[in-house]
Amino acid sequence: MHSETNLYLPLEDGYVVAYADGACVKNGLSEAKSAYGVWFSDKCPLNIGMPLDGPATNMRAEVQASTAALQLIHKLGYDKAKIYTDSSYILSCVNGWIDKWKANDWCKGNRKPVKNYDVLLKFDGACSIFSDIKWEHVCGHSGHYGNEAAHKLAQQAAKLQQITH
């Protein structure tokens, strides 16, 4: 069920541990470029930094980072994940916002459509296939090794996209 690649996956009580981070170079500007990073452990071949197409914002990149982490873990045959993130947006989404938005046909309390609906819908779908997900907040840019590694992957991918596009 689990390949040799999985030897690099950190497990805590049956949960695969991953760090997810999004980055957006020139966030808020028309020339902004975004990317995500997912980091499992040193030398893990699944660590990835991926540039993103479409509207480039930090929040969209954070959502796509967590989605990618969950998709990678699921593809390897696991159904329990522990995701570390520095995104308070992600934590708010999983701690009630998404449930409220879904109940309100993906509209906020003011009846305006939720921003980032397209990526949030994919994120919600990725979350729904797990038997359990633990979300852990880490302070960004505080020297937390796993978060810094995911951030570096995201930054490198965003900068590469900026150069090549």
d(CA 123, CA 94): 10
CA dihedral 4, 146, 151, 126 (to 10 degrees): 60
Report pLDDT digits (tens) over 49-60. 999 988 899 999
- 3-state SS, residue 109: coil
Q: What is the pTM of this model?
A: 0.93
* Mean pLDDT, rounded, for 121-138: 97
Report pLDDT digits (tens) over 13-25. 899 999 999 999 9
Half-sphere exposure of residue 108: CA atoms within 13 angstroms, side-chain side? 8
Output the pLDDT for position 157.
Answer: 94
CA dihedral 43, 44, 46, 47 (to 10 degrees): -50
The verdict on domain 4-164 having CATH code 3.30.420.10 is: yes
Domain boundaries, the chain: 4-164
Report pLDDT digits (tens) over 84-127. 999 999 999 999 999 999 999 999 989 999 999 999 999 999 99
